[in-house]
């Protein structure tokens, strides 16, 4: 097993119990990291036990500007989608899906598991601050204001999933931040409604033609029209 260790100077007891409880609650799924019903603390740390992933995390396998083999991407996509579907069925949103938070059990990605539920929220919760990693954050999260807040929705995870799959395929981000000040994102917004498989923006020419349209659903700008992670099963 592996031990997840959290520094008490940076983690409250409430935050620790939040992550441990959600991790344990979800760990029955085959593509979510197993958590043992074991936790304890020392003078300086909170600790709980998890399943050991011998091959590390998915991010460490990505070759810059290359990605990982397409067959491995497909295996990862199916497994991550299954985990996210299960999380959504339980009324939760991960809020920080990215390759760093997907653990790998073999180098060919026949078994990968989602982990790190420290930022997970109950669907319908109102948040007043941005949550997650900026590269994978949906545009509505970037645009939120403290005064209005934002209702947590599973579409946040769908967006992050789409960006993560792009990164696995290409070894780079489609944009740095999903707002119109980012040129890569602006090009995607400008062409999304007329996304042509034979003449996409330059950033999307590395993506196989047959799956480009899938990203129009996963990365729909309007979150109410965003698809489901199960789109990958139709590709």
Counting every residue written for the chain, the total comes to 235
DSSP of 47-108, one letter per residue?
Answer: EEEE---TT-BSGGGPBTTTBS-HHHHHHHHHHHHHHHHHHHHTTEE-S--SGGGEEESSTT
Look up tokens 């497994």; give the residue: 79
Any catalytic annotation for residue 44?
A: no
| Torsion sign over Cα 189, 121, 27, 90 | negative
CA dihedral 92, 97, 101, 106 (to 10 degrees): 100
Which DSSP state fits 181? T
Closest CA to 4 of 29, 30, 39: 39
Choose the catalytic residue: 7, 44, 96, 181.
96
Distance CA 181, CA 158 (A): 22
- Partners of 126 in the β-ladder: 151
Catalytic residues: 96
């Amino acid at each position: 097993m592996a031990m997840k260790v959290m520094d008490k100077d940076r983690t409250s007891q409430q935050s620790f119990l939040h992550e441990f409880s959600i991790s344990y609650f979800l760990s029955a799924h085959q593509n979510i990291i197993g958590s043992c019903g074991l936790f304890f603390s020392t003078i300086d740390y909170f600790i709980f036990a998890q399943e050991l992933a011998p091959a590390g995390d998915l991010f460490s396998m990505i070759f810059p500007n290359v990605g990982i083999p397409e067959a491995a991407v497909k295996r990862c996509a199916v497994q991550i989608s299954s985990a996210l579907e299960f999380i959504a069925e339980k009324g939760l949103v991960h809020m920080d899906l990215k390759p760093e938070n997907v653990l790998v059990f073999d180098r060919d990605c026949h078994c990968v598991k989602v982990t790190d539920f420290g930022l997970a929220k109950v669907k319908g919760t109102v948040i007043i601050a941005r949550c997650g990693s900026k590269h994978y954050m949906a545009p509505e999260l970037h645009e939120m204001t403290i005064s209005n807040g934002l209702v947590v929705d599973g579409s946040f995870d769908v967006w992050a999933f789409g960006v993560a799959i792009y990164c696995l395929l290409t070894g780079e981000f489609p944009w740095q931040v999903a707002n119109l000040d980012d040129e890569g994102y602006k090009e995607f917004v400008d062409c999304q409604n007329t996304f042509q498989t034979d003449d996409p923006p330059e950033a999307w020419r590395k993506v196989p033609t047959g799956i480009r349209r899938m990203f129009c659903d996963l990365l729909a700008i309007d979150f109410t029209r965003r698809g489901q992670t199960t789109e990958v099963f139709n590709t």
